[in-house]
Structure 1
Amino acid sequence: MIHTKEKPLVCEYCEKIFSQKSTLRKHIRTHTGEKPFACKHCEKTFSEKSTLRKHIRTHTGEKPFACKYCEKTFSTKWTLTTHIRTHTGEKPFTCEYCKRIFSDKSNLIKHKLTHTGEKPLTCEYCEKIFSQKSNLIKHKRTHTGEKPFACKYCEESFSQKWTLTTHIRTHTGEKPFACEYCEKTFSRKWTLTTHIRTHTGEKPFTCEYCKRIFSDKSNLIKHKLTHTGGKLKKKGYSKKTRNDTH
């Protein structure tokens, strides 16, 4: 059948055809929702055995795929393949709109949405729409209050991983962002960006009322309150129209 390309097996739900019975069985589960493969470590179930094997590694920490260029190991083969491209510089995926190239297919898919403007993902709580699943997941936590990222030094937990990373630095004292003009270091990138403006004199934030300029957005917001009588006026903003811009 590999040579003849014959596909004698037909799906009873959508008439899609297959050459192998095992492939047909896997496909039928996309219609029935059947998930016969259960994880022994948690309550999750899966429609394919290979997906279960990958999932189990999140519990065991097993990383059987090793990079031949460095010492890094990975839990999935495709993650290794993507990583290897950081060494080889290979970028096999091309955007059909602007010819920009990518090393990872998922990044290409996300990028193409900036051309099409498509936002296919909808929040079940407020109907806000998103172009990327990761942004939808983060947004939904504002409704559910879920905080899955816990600090190992204290009892605080956070809804976003980057917030946890920043918080941990209050325990470790780490300041990874260094100023190129002086010897000061900072725990947050935006703090460094604001600090650099004390050297460059850049003031990118302009008051819409009096045209006074500021180097820090927070100072602009405080200043605008002197014009509005203590109330911040938000222009061009609507609960119905606010969508992610990623």
Structure 2
Amino acid sequence: MSERKVAIITGVTGQDGSYLSELLLEKGYEVHGLVRRTSQQNLGRSLINHLMDHERFHLINGDLTDQSSIDNAVQEIQPHEFYNLGAQSFVPESWRSPTMTADVTGLGTLRCLEAIKRVKPDCRFYQAGSSEQFGEVREIPQTEMTPFYPRSPYGVAKVFAYEITRNYRESYGLFACTGILFNHESPRRGLEFVTRKVTMTVARIGHGLDECLWIGNVLAKRDWGYAGDYVEMQW
């Protein structure tokens, strides 16, 4: 019998993390979600609540801003695969909290790579990139050869994460890759994002709780996909 694969997922309580957890469990993996202690206190209504009793789903304490906690998680779990989906991913918030965004989204990726390099160099690492890396669009459509021109602290942090992932792959021979993700949605999407903002406001208007929908740039264009499909690519 082949050895059961073991995976660590950061950002496990988010949209992609919950779908990826379901996918890996369906494929027979043992899944460990890296969560901060403060996050564990709010799991009652989280997107992974339905997985908590699964015999192959576990949570482990860890924080992308704390190198030792990531080292300890990799040492304890000895994963075959590491999916770094954790980030401060709301662009407007990155302007309000640029230092935190850089620490979690940018340096957090470096800490994951360092832990793998030190402890489990044969572990495969996946980094969730973002179309925000392209920022001010220079060509349509964008490809892997399109230069990055990020226009927010979040985009800059994601470019750093992309480049440090490539650097560790080329310098240390790690299996480390980045998937550049464009907008992808689902019923699990956070209410601060535009698709959920639209649907929630429509529902509120229908119930007489609101009168109008306020949004930003109505001329913006985006590719939208389904999060369940996107996590299959990540796997």
TM-score, length-scaled by structure 2? 0.21
| Greater RCO (Cα-Cα under 8 Å, separation 6 or more) | 2
TM-score (norm 1): 0.21
Greater C-alpha Rg? 1
Q: Which has the higher helix share?
A: 2
